[in-house]
Amino acid sequence: MPTRWTRKSWRGSTGKSEYEVAIIGPGALGRVFAARLGRVAEVALVARSEERAAALRAGYRLREAGGEVHVFPNAYGPESAPRARWAVVLVKTPDTVEAGRTAARLATAGAVSLQNGWVDDLLPPTVRQGASTVAAKFEEDGAVRLVSEGNTWLPPGFEELARTLSAAGLPAEASSELAAVRLRKLAVNLVINPLTAVLNRPTGALLEPPAWELVGELVREMAPVLQARGLAVGEEELLELVGGVIRATAANTSSMLADVRAGRRTEIEEITGVLLRWGSELGLELPRHRALYHLVRALEKVDRGQPLQQ
């Protein structure tokens, strides 16, 4: 039988209701973080509106290796959400600006974004950007499945939050090497996300020819740009990194492919768009990445509201 649990808020020193952690964004990943953290801390889950918050309070199902649990979160809309020591942003990039403002307003100790892509310019100065390889997805019946517990990297000064995440079964650390970690994650996203979206295939299809040859070409094309940003990795090591993630997630549907299939706006601007801007600053054209960028943008326009068939 599924397990039901709820957490009550605790009172901060101000006398107002305050939580230990606020999760901004109730997508698949946000629901995983809220559910896991709710076992060890007081957690608020902040939705886009009061109506969506009410639906969340009715509960959702989370499937993990140990089985299925029913989660009944402390859910709020952005206007009614209470303060929290830590705020974690887990929204899709189109919602970054509003989510960042909410996180900055709620957090008393620190706020961090764990979103895909490079969204630094969209966040308030007080909201830092970390990185996470935790993976989750919505299943056809609406339940959320935890695909991978992964790892999470936070900026220095977020050691307390890292300990809380680790205690919840989501391994985390506050790292002085965060910039390199973020560039490595971006490198993986630059290949897997747009290529699977254009091919309309699961990640493992990239290991097959001729897709694998294109993976190598994309890696070699982006390597000088990422190296110029501080990633001390050669082309072959970078290809091994990307190939290792492809093999480890072969059965997965990338988030960009899922967005295209559902007719949603993708995160191509904050992933490949960022690379293209960096390349332009160096006088590099990056034709393969530019072609993927335009193909994904075309798919967004063609399939918006008309989901792409699998």
pLDDT for 196-233, tens place per residue?
A: 999 999 999 999 999 999 999 999 999 999 999 999 99
Q: Is the pTM of this model over 0.95?
A: no
The yes/no answer on whether domain 4-176 falls in CATH 3.40.50.720 is yes
**Matching CATH topology for 4-176 and 179-303?**
no
Please classify residue 258 by burial: count the beta carbons closer than 10 Å to its beta carbon, then call 0-12 exposed, 13-18 middle and 19+ buried.
middle
Element of type H or E holding 220: helix 211-228
The yes/no answer on whether domain 179-303 falls in CATH 3.40.50.720 is no
Pair type for strands 67-71 and 4-5: parallel
> pLDDT tens digit string along 103-123?
999 999 999 999 988 999 999
User: Quick one: DSSP state of residue 288?
Assistant: H
Angle at 184 between CA 63 and CA 103, to 5 degrees: 60
CA distance 254 to 130: 20
CB 191 within 8 A of CB 205: no
Q: How confident is the model at residue 47 (pLDDT cuts 50, 70, 90)?
A: very high
Domain boundaries, the chain: 4-176, 179-303
Locus of tokens 């076992």? 39
Instruction: Verify whether residue 185 is a known catalytic residue.
Output: yes
4 beta partners: 70
Q: Check residue 308 and give its pLDDT.
A: 53
- Name which residue leads in pLDDT, 167 or 303: 167
Structure tokens at 49: 């509106």
Q: How confident is the model at residue 60 (pLDDT cuts 50, 70, 90)?
A: very high
For the chain, give the mean pLDDT.
91
Q: Check residue 12 and give its pLDDT.
A: 29
> pLDDT tens digit string along 241-266?
999 999 999 989 999 999 999 888 99
Q: Check residue 233 and give its pLDDT.
A: 94
85 phi/psi in degrees, rounded to 5:
-60, -45
Q: Identify how many contiguous H helices and E strands the chain contains and give both numbers.
A: 10, 15
Residue 310 has pLDDT above 80, yes or no: no
157 phi/psi in degrees, rounded to 5:
100, -10
CB 90 within 8 A of CB 34: no
One of 8, 137, 185, 301 is an active-site residue; which one? Answer: 185
Return the number of other C-beta atoms located less than 10 Å from residue 120's C-beta.
Answer: 14
Structure tokens at 197: 């979206």
Q: Which amino acid is at 36?
A: R
Helix intervals (H) in 108-177: 159-167
